[in-house]
Structure 1
Amino acid sequence: MNFRRLARLAAACLLLAFVPLRAGEDNVWPLYVSKADGTTESWQILGPLFFGNTADGYTQEGLRPLYLETTTGETTEGSFLYPFFTWRRQPDFQTFSFFQLLNNRSDYTAGGQADQRFDVWPFWFSRDTGDAETSYRALFPLHGTIKNRFGRDRIRFSAFPLYSHTEKAGRHVTHAPWPFLRFIEGDGHDGFEFWPFYGHVAREGDYERQFWLWPFGYKSVRNLSEPEPTKQFGVLPFYSRETSPGYINENYAWPFFGYSDRTLPYRYHETRWFWPFLVQGRGDDRMVNRWGPFYTHSVIKGTDKTWLLWPLYRNQRWTADGLAQDKTTFLFFLYWSLEQRSPDREVAAAHKTHLWPLFSAWDNGAGRRQVQALSPFEVFFPRNDTVRRLWSPLFALYRFDRQADRSERHALLWNAVTWRRGPEEREFHLGPLAGYRADANERRFALGRGLIGWRRAAGQRWHLFLFDFPSKAAMKADQAASP
């Protein structure tokens, strides 16, 4: 789908034939709005619906909220009705997925042999590598084998849950039927479980684990070769105990009353009454004061957290990636703010703020700022670029963007009204009705994109002009640049 051609054709039908300007903005709202700055260009058709962005080695086009395709070098990623249909293509790899339920993946080696994987969750799993040792097919729950997936070296089943068998690092586990009868053997492991009544599994010199009337009774010992093994014992809900070198944890009337005491590898003592409401803990580089749900304050490994009237207010402060970070939330997402700054505080702070669903604001601390209103999605999908591209602009009644060079752009009602101020130029558009542009060489005010207007060159008076459309200006610039 060539959205750019569609934009030009529609504009020609209603106004005059034109091509996008090489710099500045061309506003034929709601039919077509384009912005160009050097090697970067973006455009929209029919308000925010059709859109595209182009930069060095990067192209993106889409139809909100249905379709998005991004090309970066030799890699193309796309989606339709996201998150239902997604795909990715590159010279040695391609995938297609329907809601992560139907997945097709092809990897191509240098010799041309394809590694083909196809899944239809949770019924069909297959892989064809051209090698019987790594290829498999499985039709769940009837019969099949799955290799090197789901954390297992091999999974076999027939008439599941009547029979299943898994292998991992020489350990074999057979269910017949699942989950009631379980047999464990191989690589020193030996055990039998009749869930939920009784089970016992052990490996000499490594561990021993058993349960009865799961989950009410259990006992396990790990690291048997160590001088002081790790032990767990529980008769729930009456009592549970865990011990390991330098550590003990006991609970009475589980999980309400208990304590933990640790001396290795750090010192920490914690007491619990009516857990999780009343908890007191002190130790090396850590502290917990919890009087839930009214007040909680904890400091653990440098991370400082405070809750007031949970879940009303929460503040968290920590250092990561060389940055001191301060995060504050009110009712989880109703108000959300994150500030990042250099620990020495010599660099201006960067911050991101959401007041759901009214607005979102970003500041990178280096002069770049953005504001959007309304903003119902950003707080829920902070790292999902597809949602940000397809859904957020549909609600952008107002957007503000300031660059590092302090140039600013305001856009109202999906670019129906725009105002841009740069270091050496000014630009204003009321859709195709009126526009104003000023730079060091000229000032120009036009109605109807050039149907009538006034122009004043530097050092001269204002002059009236007629029928001077952006397409003419673009062609004059092209002719002047031609050899």
Structure 2
Amino acid sequence: MRRLLVSLACVLSVSTFAQIDGDPLYARVAESNETFYAWRPFYSHSTEPERWRKDYFWPLYTRKGFKDETYSRFLFFGHSADFERDTERHRNWIFPIWFSGTSKEGENYWALFPIYGNLYEFMARDEASFVLFPAWYTSRINDVESWTVLWPLISSAQGEKVDRFRVLPFYGHNRLKGEFEKTYYLWPLYSQVRYTNERNPGGGFILVPFYGRIKTERADNYWVLPPFFRYTGSDKQWILHAPWPFVQLAGGEMNKRIFWPFYGKKSLGTTQRQYWLWPLFWNNKTTYAAHEQRRRKIIPFFYSQADVMTEASGSYAEGEAFTGYWKLWPLMSWDRIGERSRFRTLELWPFRNTPGIERNWAPWWTLYRRVDDQGEIGHHVLWGLYRQVRDKEEEQFEWSLLKGLAGYKKEQDDRRYRILFVWFGGNKESEP
């Protein structure tokens, strides 16, 4: 749980809680090993151990680094990267038109889509090449090499354990040695499978839209008018679709009660999902070792999340929430991590704490912010034109109007006043 708290605090640290005079236009913050500097929305620069990031009119252009690696992004199309210093590995991509770089094996490559190209480390492929795509395309993943003519119609893949071939939609087969053999004719009308693994051998067929049956050592599967009516039965699980996707029922390791689109509930492992009037109302829960995370959504207007203890741990009792969050979009939000909380309005961005938005844009539409940092409560109104801070434990209180045109500060028995940016009163030793 301690690691979770630290991770959540890092999300909110600089951009949410640590803002000073000058925002939303200007911000400069230094906290232990982290720094943040910004002239919003034109430029921001943040650093932390082994990491740094620079935004230029985000999301127009971003540069970031981790250890010896440097990445750049222009909008959502241009990407470049320089990797370890002792290698020449790098890449420059303008997606989806131009690709060039040097692979980790030192191979230089370039590609001009869809005319011609060779690529490395692209879309989970070790290698890929094409000529007048989709006319001709080849790729390699580990020892599996494949080729495609008129993608995706005609293709083949071969490897030590893999044998695939298809002429879509007429014929196709897929064999993974020691696991399965699958074949189809006139896809999706007829398909058959034979499982060759020792864990759950068996096989069967599906003839759309009439009937299907797949029997294995552990389960029996039947379809009538596939894919609409299905029944699966095993020692640990049963599934009934009657008809899919409107009625879906299951019991065992996975429990499911779906009457789409009116109501649905699914539980599998540590995760439970529930909805009403899909996709409007959601109630989800994930269980961890000592706490559970509860999430509620009314799409797109409301979202809430809370982390609640399921057993006592540290300073938190069973049933106590150590984080909380809710957003009423586009009006307001509230966020709490441990003994730190923040309320703000407006909330024009529909998602929660998107880092680029928090660094560069959110302060512009934040008309009011209230922050409670372990009992020190601050109010921030109209981009800081009025600010107020109170700490009851330290007997401190301060307010400021128009960045110091008028103000007041109280520290225990010491009181000072500010008029036209000049302080009056108070002990001389404490005067700035």
TM range (shorter): 0.7 to 0.9
The match for 1:430 is 401
Q: Give the Cα separation in 2 of the matches to 1:90 and 1:302.
A: 33
Aligned to 1:48: 24
Classify 1:270/1:371 alpha carbon distance in 2 versus 1 (closer, same or farther; 3 Å): same
Q: Is residue 66–residue 81 contact of structure 1 (8 Å, CA) maintained in 2?
A: yes
In the alignment, is the contact (CA less than 8 A) between 2:344 and 2:368 conserved in 1?
yes
**1:373 counterpart = 2:349:** no
Q: Distance in 1 between the 2:162 and 2:260 partners? A: 44
Structure 1 CA distance for aligned equivalents of residues 47 and 148 of structure 2: 47
Instruction: State the secondary structure of the residue aligned to 2:351.
Output: coil
Matching residue within 366, 370, 393 for 1:396: 366
Q: Answer with 1 or 2: which has the greater Rg.
A: 1
DSSP 3-state at the match of 2:89? strand
- In structure 2, relative to structure 1, the CA distance for the partners of 1:396 and 1:325 (3 Å cut) is same
Partner of 1:358: 331
Q: Which residue of 1 aligns with 2:415?
A: 443
Match of 2:142 among 169, 180, 191: 169
Question: How much does 1:410 deviate?
Answer: 0.8
CA distance in 2 between counterparts of 1:129 and 1:297 reads 46
2:83 match: secondary structure: strand
- In the alignment, which residue of structure 1 is the partner of 2:47? 71
Displacement of 1:319 in angstroms is 1.3
Matched residue, 1:16: none
Partner of 1:248 in structure 2? 220
- Pairing 1:80-479 to 2, within 5 Å after superposition: 80-89=56-65, 92-109=68-85, 112-128=86-102, 132=106, 134-187=107-160, 189-190=162-163, 192-202=165-175, 206-222=179-195, 224-226=196-198, 228-229=200-201, 231=203, 233-263=205-235, 267-284=236-253, 286-320=254-288, 322-330=290-298, 332-344=299-311, 346=317, 348-349=320-321, 350-364=323-337, 366-377=338-349, 379-382=350-353, 384-404=354-374, 406-422=375-391, 423-431=394-402, 432-450=404-422, 455-457=425-427, 473-474=431-432
Deviation string, structure 1 residues 58-101 (Cα, Å, up to 9, x no partner): 22122333322212256431122322311114662222121342
d(CA) in 2 for partners of 1:238, 1:95: 53
Q: 1:189 to 1:363 in 2, by over 3 A?
A: closer
Cα RMSD (Å)? 2.9
TM-score normalized by the length of structure 2 = 0.84
In the alignment, is the contact (CA less than 8 A) between 1:184 and 1:201 conserved in 2?
Answer: no
Q: Could you tell me how far apart the structure 2 residues matched to 1:189 and 1:299 are?
A: 34
**In the superposition, relative to structure 1, how do residues 54 and 125 fare at CA in structure 2: closer, same or farther (>3 Å)?**
same
- Distance in 1, matches of 2:379 and 2:175, equals 68
Give the Å deviation of 1:189: 4.6
What stretches of structure 2 of length at least 5 have no aligned partner? 1-16
- 243 and 78 in structure 1: CA distance in 2 versus 1, 3 angstrom threshold: farther
Instruction: Return the alpha-carbon distance in structure 1 between the equivalents of residues 179 and 273 of structure 2.
Output: 38
Q: Secondary structure at the match of 2:275?
A: strand
Tell me how far apart the structure 2 counterparts of residues 292 and 396 of structure 1 sit (CA, whole Å).
Answer: 39
- Specify the SS of the correspondent of 1:437: strand
C-alpha distance in 1, partners of 2:271/2:161?
Answer: 42
- Tell me: CA distance 1:230–1:401, structure 2 relative to 1, closer, same or farther (3 Å): farther
CA distance, structure 1, for counterparts of residue 293 and residue 49 of structure 2: 34
Deviations 1:216-270 (A, max 9, x none): 3222334x2538535353222333444443123333223322222232xxx1212
Query: How many angstroms apart in 2 are the aligned matches of 1:41 and 1:275?
Result: 51
Unaligned residue ranges in structure 1 (runs of 5+): 1-39, 458-467, 475-483
AA partner of residue 173 (structure 2): H
Q: 1:217 to 1:137 in 2, by over 3 A?
A: same
Give yes or no for contact 1:136–1:147 (8 Å, CA) kept in 2: yes
User: Do the aligned partners of residues 248 and 78 (structure 1) sit closer, same or farther apart at CA in structure 2, a change above 3 Å counting?
Assistant: farther
Aligned residues: 406
Distance 1:305 1:165 in 2: 40
Letter in 1 for 2:369: R
Which aligned runs of 4 or more in structure 1 are off by greater than 6 angstroms?
A: none
Check the 8 A contact 2:211/2:226 in 1, yes or no: yes
**TM-score of the pair, normalised by structure 1:** 0.75
Contact preservation (8 Å) 2:191, 2:205: yes
Identity of aligned residues (%): 24
Asked if the contact 2:78/2:92 (under 8 Å) is kept, the reply is: yes
